Amino acid sequence: MDDATIVEVRGLHKTYPGATRSAVDGINLSIPRGKIFGLLGPNGAGKTTLLSMLCGLLSPGAGELRISGYDVKTHRTEIKRALGLVPQDLALYPGLSARENLSFFGHMQGLFGEALDARVDACLEIAGLRELAKQRVETFSGGLKRRLNLVIGLIHEPQLLILDEPTVGIDPHSRRFIHDSLSKLNAGGMSIIYTTHYMEEVEQLCDELAIMDHGKIIAQGAVKELLGKYQDGAIEVLASTVLSKKVADDIRALSYISAAHINGKSITLKSEQPHKTIPALLTILQENDVAITSLSLGAVHLEQIFLALTGTRLRD
């Protein structure tokens, strides 16, 4: 692991007792230092298990996991100092003030005296909560609580900040405030792992991303490169019924296709000559009595790629 990498994962496995498949199934992942890295996946993809292992809350079944060069299994103290976590569920004491919450969690990270006071003041400034520092958190709006939840993860100035759905259920102004704060922190050198179900957030914030499903990484790379891969000559089709293996194989065999992702009812293709591919595609669907509900050509958003890779079926 070199200085350019903040997280290194090799052959990582985790299977829960009694489970029929691995929650994390032999993944390899390198996250560059100083970037905002998006981690995406449907419910049950293995994201939470991976993050729990990164934070030392779960032990890997097999494989290697390092943060800033430290082995997560054997260097717990160093990992605690290097890592900040902002959980989806608010980790706040509602009966305490914003300042008291920050002081408490600062103590938990080994901060005391003037150093703690300075960090509390800095975090209140980052969150825009200086004038509300003495107010009890139970009186805060959802957006204010999210902002306080964010800076609690920053109290000890970690090298790596992990955020799990940090903007869920908040108003647009608070979401924008958090986005701006993260961009400033990243510009100052902080590495960030960002998980969300809001695809537009990843497009706006993240430099690179990985998409997980069924415990595996099924796509990874720079956000702009991944979008560009499907941008020109992209064909997006949603069928009325789930496609059979035969239909899927026939579509993949079409000429001029450089990439094809077919999952359930969803078809995403990249074609060098879409004006030839589309008629051939429609012929295959018609011959197999498959109707389509939508067809689009051209610009592809991350959400379209995500659905094409992971399917459109709802997950629990």
Domains of the chain: which residue ranges?
5-224, 233-297
pLDDT, residue 181, reads: 93
pLDDT, residue 85, reads: 93
Total Cβ atoms within 10 A of residue 20: 5
The third-level CATH classification (topology) of the domain covering 233-297 is Alpha-Beta Plaits (3.30.70)
CA angle 100, 102, 108 (to 5 degrees): 105
The third-level CATH classification (topology) of the domain covering 5-224 is Rossmann fold (3.40.50)
224 pLDDT higher than 80: yes
Total Cβ atoms within 10 A of residue 178: 23
Show Cβ contacts of residue 287 under 8 Å, excluding neighbours closer than 6 positions. none
- pLDDT category at 315 given cuts 50, 70, 90 is low
* H-helix or E-strand spanning residue 212: strand 208-213
Instruction: List, in sequence order, every residue forming a beta bridge with 208; answer none if it has no partner.
Output: 37, 222
Question: Can you read off the two tokens belonging to residue 199?
Answer: 């695809």
| Helix 113-127 × helix 172-187 angle, to 10° | 130
Question: Can you read off the two tokens belonging to residue 34?
Answer: 């100083």
* pLDDT tens digits, one per residue of 115-140: 999 999 999 999 999 999 999 999 99
Show Cβ contacts of residue 9 under 8 Å, excluding neighbours closer than 6 positions. 27, 28, 29, 30, 50, 63, 64, 65, 66
316 pLDDT higher than 60: no
25 pLDDT higher than 90: yes
Share of the chain above pLDDT 90, in %: 69
* pLDDT tens digits, one per residue of 240-286: 999 999 999 999 999 988 878 888 898 888 888 888 999 999 999 99
pLDDT, residue 183, reads: 95
- CA dist 133 and 148 (Å) reads 10
